[in-house]
Amino acid sequence: MSRVLVTGALGLLGLKIARLFAQDPGHEVLATFNSPKENWTFDPPAGVLNIADFGAVTALLSDFKPEVVINCAAYSKVDQAESERAAAYQVNAEAVGFLAQQVKRNGSFLVHFSTDYIFDGKAGPYSEEARPNPLGYYAKTKYWGEEKVVRVGCRHLVVRTNVLFGIHEEASKPNFFMWLVGELSAARPVKIVSDQYNNPTLADNLAALVKEAVEKKLEGVLNLAGKTYLSRYDFAMRIARFFNYDHELIDPVDTASLKQPAPRPLLGGVRTEKAQAVLKSSIFSVEESLSFLKKNYESFFAAHPRPN
């Protein structure tokens, strides 16, 4: 049995990963998160951990002695990072470097998540060998986090993904999918960018891919993301049509018109040929992802019917 520590386990990806590993009797899982413990209402066992608290990180790793540390904790507020630079750097870079040091010291294995935002969006989707050129401060901190993991030299797998979506009703903030369904089910019009391209990634599918990669002891950088490459607007339209919402509520806009504080890579996304060659688990298309959600989360859609 291997001991697996999951940080950021109250987030969408962290929860999916913690629960999936916990279902396997071959793994002993400890899920951690940075909020009051009473917020955890799931299996497996859990504890409170702020990865920027270096003393707490050292103590927990010494006590639990995980063979695998899966770091799902992150500062993910893209626009706020432009003004909250210290906080973004502390979580996405400094804390990641310290975690990597402790993992190396303990002889463990680190899985760390990165993003297509480390690229400038001029020539996506990007392979594992593409040269990063992050634009905004959030993007830079994510790239610096990657660099720190590599520089420390612990055994690691850096997973690059993008546009993570899925259903997690206890999450502190909704992902794009949950937000869009909420708006359309309430018959509220939305504006969606039509010039940002990615390959949206179902969190449940990503968790399965990560589990296989960990069990195969894959190392280095690996892109894990959805199979379908499309604009955010087209993604929204597919969601609306699949679940029979009124797609006329969705209006396309260009990114520049939103005047967001942080720049966005337009032609983003990541190539997954390497993952497809080394993993047996299927990488879902958008349609497969939506079918999965419809089948497995009936209560969510019952609570979000199409308006009459």
Q: What domains does the chain contain, in order, with CATH numbers?
A: 2-165+203-223 (3.40.50.720)
In the chain, alpha helices (H): 12-22, 54-64, 85-89, 95-106, 137-152, 176-185, 203-215, 232-242, 273-278, 286-296, 298-302
pLDDT, residue 261, reads 97
- Amino acid making up residue 242: F
**Distance between alpha carbon 277 and the CA centroid of its chain, in Å?**
22
Condensed to tens digits (0 to 9), the pLDDT of residues 121-166 reads 999 999 999 999 999 999 999 999 999 999 999 999 999 999 999 9
Contacts of 257 (CB under 8 A, 6+ apart): none
Instruction: Return the closest-CA partner of residue 111 out of 201, 18, 38.
Output: 18
Task: Kindly report the pTM of this predicted structure.
Answer: 0.97
pLDDT, residue 84, reads 98
